[in-house]
Amino acid sequence: MDILLANSSPVQKDHKEIWKDCLTIIKKNVPQITYNTWFLPIKPVSLVDFTLNVEVPSEFFIDWIEEHYSTILKKALVSSIGETAKITYSIVEDKSEQLDLIDEIERKEEEKKAASKQVASGNDKRIFDPHLNPRYKFDNFIKGEGNQLARAAAIAISDNPGETSFNPFFIYGGVGLGKTHLIQAIGNQIIDRHPNKKAIYLSMDTFTVEFVDAIQNDSVNEFSHFYKTMDVLIIDDIQFLSGRERTQDLFFQIFNILHQSGKQIILSSDKPPKDLKGLNERLISRFQWGLTADIQPPDFETRVAILKNKSESYGIALSNEIMEYIALNITSNIRELEGCLIKLLASSSLNSQEIEFELAKKVVKEISTQVKTNISIETITKEVCSFFKLEENKVREKNRKKEIVLARQIAMYLSKKLTNSSLKTIGLHFGGRDHSTVIHAYNSIDHLISNDATLKETIAKIKSKIELSAA
């Protein structure tokens, strides 16, 4: 009986062996770089009946795999589990940034290095986790006009934490401009050069959640004591403090204690101190005691320099022409520049092709339309249904009538094409269907259009209506 229970799957092998078998098959069928990028990071977690559950680094990952490799994946699963094989995904960390992929790869490298270092030095001193991502360094932070002051100050602070007049150091600017990178670089440099200093990084959001926990567990004293013993306190996205009275009070105390004893405080925010709404005046004034520096969007030269640097580190060869094209068209932030490179990396490894100008153009177009339009899945649903004279909830119900299925698939197809939403999100909008249904819809419409000129025209018409109504 026990044996039967322990072996809950009808398949003889366990999840690890099954996944190993799958990898062997996949490896033979995809280019090496594809294998390394998309399959190696997958971790098998369990096998229940005929369903293999795996962990992936992000939702973007699931989308890519399902969109591009579902056939080979299915083949591998069927051959190692059987005809009824299925796969389900869970996400390791709940972040859906595309960069998780790169992060993940680099983090592994760093962990390996760190592990071997520790073995080498043989010391077992209590491990204190500063929550710093080793990916963020000064070395890979490109200098530009927009970040000059902030960067120079950050370097000065890392040399002499707590001993410059830049205390607190308050850095602000729009999304994706490098605030997190820069403040974490300070932390990394400090723990590197001043190993006896205790530095910790966290976002104000995390701080708030921890505080609420502490209140519930009656451990507010320990909580605040912990932060009061830091030499360097780095808090990201301080704007989350707004409207939270109790957190503000506690943070005020911690701030004062640290500041009085010459400990370094580093803060980031999406706006300058004076524009922070819902924040106590006494905090705002303290934020301005030290140095306030902004980060501006990068100019053209800086964008090109960033692309050069990053494409080299990802191992993609890009011509100057392509880099300039990207830099001319993606202007608002650095996260998008990176997103563009990662898409290029993914598409080129997919087709094992050199990156050509046409591909770059396509990717840039995808990214810039995603960013600039505010088309929502709701608008798409509305327009598709009005075109087919259907009530909107029809496409969300489990109705299999032919014309409803077609409308639903078109709406899913357009949602995938015209919005930034993940397959999972799209599925949720159409009655909680899963990502494979969305992919299936996308593929069938894609296939139909290539053979059916009328349908193609219909979809083009709907699309222009959607664009009009979202404009």
Does the footprint of ligand ADP cover residue 31 (CB under 6 A)?
A: no
Out of Mg ion, ligand ADP, none, what residue 338 binds, judged by CB under 5 to 8 A for its kind, is ligand ADP
331-350: contacts with ligand ADP (CB under 6 A) = 334-335, 338
- Decide: 439 and 423 in contact? Cβ < 8 Å: yes
Contact status: 333 vs Mg ion (CB under 5 A): no
Residue 177 binding target from Mg ion, ligand ADP, none, CB below 5 to 8 Å by type: ligand ADP
Q: Which is nearer to ligand ADP, 175 or 212 (CB)?
A: 175
Nearer to ligand ADP, 254 or 334 (CB): 334
Find all residues with CB under 8 Å of 216, minimum gap 6, and list them: none
Rounded Cα gap, residues 421 and 403, in angstroms: 25
Interaction between residue 180 and Mg ion (CB under 5 A): yes
Handedness of CA 416, 420, 424, 429 (dihedral sign): negative
State the residue for tokens 């593929």.
443
Closest to 264 measured CA to CA, from 347, 379, 164, 130: 164
Distance between CA atoms of residues 352 and 93, nearest Å? 29
Return the residue of 15, 181, 408, 429 that touches ligand ADP, per CB under 6 A.
181
Interface segment toward ligand ADP; rule CB under 6 A; list 156-164, 177-185, 254-262, 351-359: 177-185
Regarding 293 and contact with ligand ADP (CB under 6 A), the answer is no
Q: Which residues contact 226 (CB under 8 A, 6 or more apart)?
A: none
C-beta of 74 vs 137, nearer to ligand ADP: 137
239 binds Mg ion (CB under 5 A): no
> What does the chain come to in residues?
471
Q: Residue 344 and residue 140: Cα distance in Å, rounded?
A: 20
Beta bridge partners of 89: 54
Nearer to Mg ion, 21 or 205 (CB): 205
Count of residues interacting with ligand ADP (CB under 6 A): 17
The single residue among 157, 235, 250, 306 that binds ligand ADP, judged by CB under 6 A, is 306
**Residue 335 binds which entry of Mg ion, ligand ADP, none, CB below 5-8 Å type-dependent:** ligand ADP
Q: Which is nearer to ligand ADP, 37 or 415 (CB)?
A: 37
Cβ atoms of 172 and 179 within 8 Å: the answer is yes
292 or 437: CB nearest ligand ADP: 292
Q: For residue 187, what are the CA distances in angstroms to 153, 160, 252, 337?
A: 13, 12, 22, 25
Q: How many helices (H) and strands (E) does the chain have?
A: 20, 8
- 271 vs 424 by CB, closer to ligand ADP: 271
b/e map of 7-37 (b: 16 or more CB within 10 Å)?
A: eebebeeebeebbebbbebbbeebeebbbeb
Q: Which does 433 bind (CB under 5 to 8 A by kind): ligand ADP, Mg ion, none?
A: none
Indicate the SS3 state at residue 71.
helix
User: CB under 6 A: which stretch of 29-37, 121-129, 168-176, 247-255 binds ligand ADP?
Assistant: 168-176
Nearer to Mg ion, 15 or 181 (CB): 181
Residues that bind Mg ion (CB under 5 A): 180
Q: Which positions lie near ligand ADP, rule CB under 6 A? A: 99, 140-142, 147, 173, 175-181, 306, 334-335, 338
